[in-house]
């Protein structure tokens, strides 16, 4: 006899994804859970792809999620599981200590007030001594509105005049997500500057994005940044199967790809790579979706010779390219 699910919480529980295995995974809750079955799987909570919002959206190990806790007779599980967004902020030591105390004792209260999860990082040398980096890193996990409000509270304030106030914050953007960010759009909200060199390399290469804007543009820029940096995966946006999506290449810097915006003139400048330069990289932007394709040289030449160009928004363009990679 099947046991009906029984909800144990009315408000979301926050946890960290420990493992994800294509169809299911395990979550480590951040809070203590008082239930007889909590010890069944070392205190970990089961989550199935059917219970993710949206359904079957894969989770990433190490990411933060929020969910409703249930019991189904077999153990504890997570439903209405939603991945939290994250932005990373660097704060000078003095600023961080002024906000949270010399030893960070005020951080927990700030987390509860803003309804976010915060991880604070300090870099150390191999021998355990403090590094010479002049800042601390704060990862802020939560729903977009909560993340924006938290960064607003952390931003440095500068009085421009009696009637206006400019906010300034230094964000760390992983190189792997920088390609998703539309800097031109963000510049409409205020001043924007991306560091020319890598700010940190561990645990991942990141650059500093400095944002300066007056309210309410400051919050609007942060909302736009979250929407850009966490755009749904290509397969979700185009309805592609996972095996087809896996044949699209991983993001690379713009300079390594051809940007197709209605002209094929630049095709001669597309770099070759792979065995003996047998592959070319093609970047296509249409309908707000960015795609990256690996094409053999022969396919690339066929694409170049067979059509006059590609207009933004053309549906046949994508189907043609998918056909070339065997989709």
Three-state secondary structure of 153-205: HHCEEEECCCCCEEEEEEEEEEHHHHCCCCHHHHCCCCEEEECCCCCECCCCC
Which of 229, 250, 282 delimits the end of a domain? 229
Residues 196 and 304 in one domain: no
Place of tokens 């999620």: 65
Contact 245, 221 (CB under 8 A): no
How many structural domains are present in the chain? 3
Please measure the distance between the N-terminal and C-terminal CA atoms of the chain and give it in whole angstroms.
43
Tokens of 170: 């230094």
Q: Tell me whether the omega of the peptide bond preceding residue 203 falls within 30 degrees of 0, making it cis.
A: yes
Going from the C-alpha of 118 to that of each of 97, 144, 146, 181, the distances in angstroms are: 15, 14, 12, 23
Q: CA dihedral defined by 296, 289, 59, 177, rounded to 10 degrees?
A: 80
Residues 263 and 279 in one domain: yes
Residue 144 maps to a domain? yes
d(CA 78, CA 39): 16
Q: Provide the pLDDT for residue 213.
A: 93
What domain range includes position 309?
234-324
Strands 45-48 and 76-83: parallel
Q: Which helix (H) or strand (E) holds 206?
A: strand 206-214
d(CA 321, CA 287): 15
Can you give the CATH number for the domain in which 177 is found? 3.30.1370.10
d(CA 178, CA 225): 10
pTM assigned to the model: 0.64
With H, G, I as helix, E, B as strand and everything else as coil, classify residue 242: helix
Residue 1 maps to a domain? no
Q: Cα 22 from chain centroid?
A: 19
Per-residue tens of pLDDT for the chain, all 327 residues: 567 889 999 889 999 999 998 889 999 998 889 999 888 888 999 999 999 988 888 888 888 899 999 999 889 999 999 988 889 999 999 999 999 998 889 999 999 999 898 988 888 777 777 777 888 999 999 989 999 999 999 998 876 545 568 999 999 988 877 777 888 888 889 999 999 899 988 778 889 999 999 988 999 999 999 888 776 554 444 444 444 444 443 433 333 333 333 333 334 444 444 444 444 445 444 444 444 454 555 554 544 433 333 333 333 344 444 444 443
Which of 200, 229, 258 delimits the end of a domain? 229
Q: Provide the pLDDT for residue 138.
A: 93
Please, which residues have CB within 8 angstroms of residue 103's CB and are 6 or more apart in sequence? none
Angle at 31 between CA 39 and CA 77, to 5 degrees: 55
Residues 49 and 93 in one domain: no
Residues 95 and 25 in one domain: no
Residue 44 maps to a domain? yes
Residues 114 and 66 in one domain: no
Residue 178 maps to a domain? yes
Going from the C-alpha of 8 to that of each of 11, 27, 37, 326, the distances in angstroms are: 9, 16, 12, 47
Give strand pairing partners of 70. Answer: 7, 77
DSSP type of residue 130:
B
DSSP type of residue 249:
P
Q: Cα 23 from chain centroid?
A: 21
């Amino acid at each position: 006899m099947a046991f009906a699910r029984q909800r144990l919480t009315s408000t979301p529980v926050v946890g960290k994804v420990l493992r994800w295995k294509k169809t299911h995974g395990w979550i480590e809750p951040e809070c203590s859970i008082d239930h007889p079955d909590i010890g069944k799987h070392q205190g970990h909570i089961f989550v199935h792809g059917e219970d993710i919002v949206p359904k079957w959206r894969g989770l990433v190990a190490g990411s933060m999620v929020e969910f409703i806790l249930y019991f189904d007779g077999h153990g504890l599980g997570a439903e209405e599981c939603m991945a939290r967004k994250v932005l990373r902020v660097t704060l000078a030591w003095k600023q961080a200590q002024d906000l949270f105390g010399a030893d960070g004792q005020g951080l927990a209260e700030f987390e509860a007030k803003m309804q976010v999860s915060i991880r604070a990082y300090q870099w150390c040398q191999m021998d355990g001594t403090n590094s010479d980096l002049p800042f601390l890193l704060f990862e802020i996990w939560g729903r977009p509105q909560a993340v924006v409000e938290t960064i607003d509270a952390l931003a440095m304030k500068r009085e421009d005049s009696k009637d206006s106030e400019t906010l300034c914050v230094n964000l760390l953007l992983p190189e792997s997500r920088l390609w998703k960010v539309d800097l031109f759009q963000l510049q409409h909200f205020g001043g924007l500057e991306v560091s020319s060199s890598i700010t940190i390399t561990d645990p991942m290469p990141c650059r500093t994005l400095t944002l300066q804007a007056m309210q309410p543009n400051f919050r609007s820029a942060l909302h736009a940044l979250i929407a850009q940096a966490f755009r749904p995966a290509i397969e979700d946006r185009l309805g592609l199967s996972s095996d087809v999506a896996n044949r699209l290449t991983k993001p690379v810097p713009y300079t390594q790809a051809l940007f197709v915006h209605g002209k094929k003139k630049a095709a001669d400048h597309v770099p070759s790579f792979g065995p003996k330069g047998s592959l070319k990289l093609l970047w296509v932007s249409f309908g707000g979706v960015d795609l990256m394709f690996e094409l053999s040289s022969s396919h690339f030449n066929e694409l170049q010779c067979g059509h006059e160009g590609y207009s933004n928004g053309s549906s046949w363009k994508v189907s043609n390219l998918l056909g070339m990679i065997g989709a």
